[in-house]
Amino acid sequence: MPRIAHWYVHAVDGFNRGLGKVIMWGVFVMAGILLWSSISKTFFNPSLWTLEVAQFAMVAYYVLGGPYSVQLGSNVRMDLFYAEWSIKKKAWFDAFTVLLLMFYLGVLLYGALGSTAYSLGYFGREFPEFYWELIVAFFTGGPAAAGEVMGYIERSPTAWRPVLWPIKVTMCIGFFLMLLQTISELIKDIATIRGETI
């Protein structure tokens, strides 16, 4: 395999491993939020923010932990036939299925980018141009100029009414990292098929 393939696999795997080991502690964050929700409903006035923050924490936990899960091979498999196959046959099958996963993640990322643009106040169809204008405005005129490019910021329709763009940006980052990880898995599968190790 080319040297850049080795570098890519080690860089992406290392970053996603580190992020995954940090994100796995997010289960305690979610438990703490839900514990406070139960305590506040029982002894005090119920908190408006707990349910949505728990949902946001769950999305971040799931989406940002996804790349590490893909790396570990923690995904669900039908081992009825797969378990008996040779390592090379498994690599061929994995290489084919990872291409399907890459397509799926590409569709998810495209949708998440469009949804994030909507949450930042863009209602048109060409959201890449919106992001370009937003970046140019931010670097040439600062946050005030970027604010002029944005429109009406989307908020949740609940009583607490938090803005939604932070969790949508988190989803975009998570889908992008999962896409990078699937490319790494494809490179490893190709190396296995060729009888090499990375």
Residue 45 is predicted with a pLDDT of 83
3-state secondary structure of 33: helix
Residue 80 is predicted with a pLDDT of 79
Q: For residue 55, what are its two tokens?
A: 């949902």
Residues 6 or more apart from 77 whose CB is under 8 A from it?
none
The H-assigned helical ranges of 73-164 are 79-82, 87-119, 127-149
Mean pLDDT, to the nearest integer, of 156-183? 94
Please state the domain extents for the chain. Answer: 3-193
pTM: 0.90
Residue 151 is predicted with a pLDDT of 84
Query: 5-62: per-residue pLDDT in tens?
Result: 999 999 999 999 999 999 999 999 999 999 999 998 888 888 888 889 999 999 999 9
Residue 75: is its pLDDT beyond 80? no
Query: 108-157: per-residue pLDDT in tens?
Result: 999 999 999 999 989 888 899 999 999 999 999 998 888 888 888 999 98
Residue 78: is its pLDDT beyond 80? no
> Quick one: pLDDT band at residue 97, thresholds 50, 70, 90?
very high
